Amino acid sequence: MRHRFRVGIITGIPGVGKTTVLEIVKKKAEERGLRLLVANYGTYMVNTAIKEGIAKDRDMLRHLKLRDQLELQRMAAENIIRDAEDKLGDNGFLLVDTHSVVKTSVGYWPGLPRHVVDVFKPDIIILLEADPELIHQRQVKDSSRKRGDIGGPESIRELIYFARYAAMASAVFYASAVAPVENPEGNPESAANRIVELLENI
């Protein structure tokens, strides 16, 4: 039912501040002597997609044909687990940075479908959340990414709801805990502290 190491999946709408929070999580885990591997699912997927010649960058992934995305999902998940097996012992923590739902050109698509959950066997799914207006402001400021198709605050709010539903549906397969964590403006450390606390208690 589980891997030797503990597995957490952290999800969040683009712009919620996951990258910043995870940098703090890594520092706090090191301070506490926790063996932690943070794996960005999108990075694994885009590296595979580029290698296979089916995408040029990360933002193109959600516009690929559904069956291409399914295959990329499977391969990326298996590669992450292989890396974790090499780097973590029985007391280690794998934290997978991904999305529980993805807005695509053909509608909302589960980021953690059954074939992916079967590979990860997560102990917990953490939903990093923030106010939709705040997320929208962060997206507008970030010129390094192409996120115009995600929409304004109301679309983001809808995406947050879908993310919650999707996370709970994924959790059913392995009796995973689901934990929303708020990332307030100007205080990502509070979110990081909560995430480390959750990991220590799984």
Q: Looking at residue 29, which CATH number applies to its domain?
A: 3.40.50.300
Specify the higher pLDDT residue, 74 or 105.
74
Instruction: Provide the domain count of the chain.
Output: 1
Q: Is residue 29 part of a domain?
A: yes
Q: How confident is the model at residue 48 (pLDDT cuts 50, 70, 90)?
A: confident
Q: Is residue 118 part of a domain?
A: yes
Position 112, amino acid: L
Q: Is residue 1 part of a domain?
A: no
* 173 within 8 A of 114, measured Cβ to Cβ: yes
The three-state (H, E, C) secondary structure of 104-173, written as one string:
ECCEEEECCCHHHHHHHCCCEEEEEECCHHHHHHHHHHCCCCCCHHHCCHHHHHHHHHHHHHHHHHHHHH
Domain that holds residue 188: 6-200
Q: Is residue 150 part of a domain?
A: yes
Q: Is residue 16 part of a domain?
A: yes
Specify the higher pLDDT residue, 22 or 108.
22
Q: How confident is the model at residue 150 (pLDDT cuts 50, 70, 90)?
A: low
Q: Is residue 130 part of a domain?
A: yes
48-74 burial, b at 16+ Cβ within 10 Å, e below that, comes to bbeeeebbeebbebbebeeeebeebbb
Which of 20-34, 47-61, 91-105, 128-142 is predicted least confidently? 47-61
